[in-house]
Structure 1
């Protein structure tokens, strides 16, 4: 009797694609559960069950729930940094930052739709803004990203970030405005990309006027009734 034909082991490429599909499925299931029933109320067992894998399999890909929450955000931030590196060298730093973030919003669909729908990402963004347990993590991540951006800006401008405060100052202004814009958008009712893009654009456009312009309205000139004043004289 002939030996059975040996099974050909799957190629490394096929294994990697299967692992990527499992990871993407876990991200999507987790974010759908988080946005539907709340971050705190969702368990890892529920996420694993939604994808029909074990809890052990979940932990092969993610250390905890928080890591899943920010998985797609990591992709978005990487796309922003890629665009920032590609900005023309003669652009002023704030202009380069503004242009990079606007393009990143325009292209967010192509960056993440292989993993989740854009509307789910936007709902996740709102969920983070409204979940106290995630705010601290979000701020810590923002601080780390700010330093990364400041280093990038310093290299662009040919300065030393440790002796020249300008890269960190401009990034702090940019990041602060981005956080305010995100908070304002998150408190609204329109969770579309177009909405957050417009809020972001508007707030970034106000950095210069807010810093340099005189906020006070022009004083109303006091009119003098010369006839009345003459009669009283």
Structure 2
């Protein structure tokens, strides 16, 4: 079970500063372009120093992918905590839906769905960010494969199944995210429903005949 603890007063103040910097950065990236936006402009928008910005983010790129990093970390933990009797794809499916249920409110407060959607489109339309997204996706898939191999007691270098299962799973998530970003309903609930629907179609798509006539 993914749990979200309530931070103390000092931590909440730090989070407010971080969130203000995050929102200012994203809005500036969207308004004038990622490459053309400077850290000084982001800090000035929140009336803090450049040094304060770097206390929270290593750079502009980290700000773009901050919300994604939060969900990825929670997702990896959720996979590790799934019951050992679950098959790998089922464990991945339950973990990602569990994370959506637990983090929907938190991530929604961090990034409103409309802003998150615009950032997704910014990433896809900015070559430098798209390259980073592809690298991050590959790194996440490898970490997931390691977790699956460990929970199944397999040698990842000798058994291809963990990487194959993770590749299928992450491919479905990519398709889902693309369809969600192009759809009319961009709510978190819509994303969750679409994710569950597509993951449920994996088994029939891989193991059954498609022709009905």
TM-score range relative to shorter protein: 0.7 to 0.9
Counterpart selection for 1:93 from 85, 88, 96? 88
Counterpart selection for 2:62 from 67, 70, 79? 67
Tell me if the contact between 2:180 and 2:194 (Cα under 8 Å) persists in the aligned partners. yes
Q: Distance in 1 between matches of 2:15 and 2:181?
A: 30
Tell me if the contact between 1:76 and 1:111 (Cα under 8 Å) persists in the aligned partners. no
Distance apart, 1:41 and its partner CA: 4.6
Tell me if the contact between 1:108 and 1:118 (Cα under 8 Å) persists in the aligned partners. no
1:39 aligned counterpart, secondary structure: coil
Matches within 5 A, 1:119-134: 119-134=114-129
Distance apart, 1:67 and its partner CA: 1.1
Distance apart, 1:182 and its partner CA: 1.0
Q: Distance in 2 between matches of 1:87 and 1:51?
A: 41
Pair 1:23-2:18 in alignment: yes
Distance apart, 1:209 and its partner CA: 1.4
The one-character-per-residue Cα deviations of 1:159-206 (angstroms, maximum 9, x if unpaired) are: 111111111110011011111111121222322101211221222122
Q: Distance in 2 between matches of 1:205 and 1:14?
A: 42
Q: Which residue of 1 aligns with 2:4?
A: none
Structure index of larger Rg: 1
Tell me if the contact between 1:119 and 1:191 (Cα under 8 Å) persists in the aligned partners. yes
Tell me if the contact between 1:185 and 1:195 (Cα under 8 Å) persists in the aligned partners. yes
Tell me if the contact between 1:154 and 1:167 (Cα under 8 Å) persists in the aligned partners. yes
The structure in which a higher percent of residues are helix is 2
Tell me if the contact between 2:79 and 2:92 (Cα under 8 Å) persists in the aligned partners. yes
Q: 1:57 to 1:47 in 2, by over 3 A?
A: same
Q: 1:18 to 1:197 in 2, by over 3 A?
A: closer
Query: Structure 2: where are the runs of 5+ without partners?
Result: 1-7
Q: Which residue of 2 aligns with 1:7?
A: none
Q: 1:182 to 1:129 in 2, by over 3 A?
A: farther
Q: Distance in 1 between matches of 2:193 and 2:121?
A: 16
TM-score (norm 1): 0.77
Greater alpha carbon shift after TM alignment, 209-218 vs 113-122: 113-122
TM-score (norm 2): 0.84
Tell me if the contact between 1:122 and 1:192 (Cα under 8 Å) persists in the aligned partners. no
Q: Distance in 2 between matches of 1:199 and 1:17?
A: 33
